[in-house]
């Protein structure tokens, strides 16, 4: 089984996975984050061996989900996804930033929020996002609030113990995640740099790399 999960403000359609490929499942982030029944149903449906692929916030979701349900992945592929902050000072600084985002989400018009979001340093080398997903604004607020990086457990030791099961993919121009990758690499975890920034879903080089790791050459459609 292979399970995909997109990032915040994204949709599962962004992966462009071909239809009717056996044992490939493409999930929606918002329902899994906010609906405990959806998480429980997913946990009960998983048969091993299973691989979990997550981009950004979706990549942050999988470790906590797998740990809470005592699921050992065959592979976990993290794409531009953080493994957790290291100390209280980092958490405090991140919390302040997250509160700013939540305020913008709650009180800004769509165009104003997207201007703010697209001009964050994280997305400096990415194509701008011009729409929000077809979810209520409250759903987006609740999802972001629940998945705040400042509240997330650091899963670095867990990833280290998984060793060769872990694959970490990052964009060449995404300096934050390039630095995380260097630390993971020093721990013996496989890392892959591809041409791009933070927003890697839909990047042909990402599709090629994932197809190679998964040994599924015809997984993705043509844009």
Residue 1 has pLDDT above 90, yes or no: yes
Domain ranges of the chain: 2-84+154-214, 88-146
pLDDT in the model for residue 223: 46
In 3D space, the residue among 2, 8, 1, 43 whose CA is nearest the CA of residue 139 turns out to be 8
More confident residue, 216 or 31: 31
pLDDT digit string, tens, across residues 138-191: 999 999 999 999 999 999 999 999 999 999 999 999 999 999 999 999 999 999
Residue 218 has pLDDT above 90, yes or no: no
pLDDT digit string, tens, across residues 67-107: 999 999 999 999 999 999 999 999 999 999 999 999 999 99
* Tokens 């999988």, residue located: 62
What mean pLDDT, rounded, does the chain reach?
94
Fold of 2-84+154-214: Rossmann fold (3.40.50)
Structure token digits, residue 80: 């531009």
State pTM to two decimals.
Answer: 0.94
CA-based torsion, 44, 6, 167, 81: positive or negative: negative
Band (pLDDT 50/70/90 cuts) for residue 222 is low
């Amino acid at each position: 089984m292979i399970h995909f999960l997109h990032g915040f403000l994204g949709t599962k359609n962004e992966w462009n996975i071909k239809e009717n490929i056996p044992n490939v499942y493409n999930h929606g982030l918002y329902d899994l984050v906010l609906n405990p029944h959806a998480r429980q149903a997913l946990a009960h449906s998983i048969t091993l061996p299973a691989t979990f692929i997550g981009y950004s916030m979706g990549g942050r979701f999988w470790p906590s989900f797998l740990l809470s349900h005592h699921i050992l992945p065959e592979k976990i592929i993290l794409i531009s996804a953080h493994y957790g902050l290291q100390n209280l000072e980092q958490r405090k600084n991140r919390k302040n930033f997250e509160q700013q985002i939540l305020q913008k989400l709650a009180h800004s018009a769509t165009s104003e929020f997207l201007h703010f979001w697209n001009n964050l340093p994280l997305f400096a080398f990415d194509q701008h996002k011009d729409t929000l997903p077809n979810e209520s604004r409250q759903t987006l607020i609740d999802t972001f609030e629940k998945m705040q990086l400042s509240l997330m457990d650091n899963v670095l030791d867990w990833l280290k113990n998984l060793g060769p099961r872990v694959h970490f993919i990052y964009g060449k121009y995404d300096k934050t995640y390039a630095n995380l990758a260097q630390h993971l690499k020093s721990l013996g975890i496989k890392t892959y740099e591809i041409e791009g920034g933070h927003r890697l879903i839909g990047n042909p080089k990402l599709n090629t790399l994932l197809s190679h790791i998964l040994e599924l050459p015809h997984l993705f459609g043509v844009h």
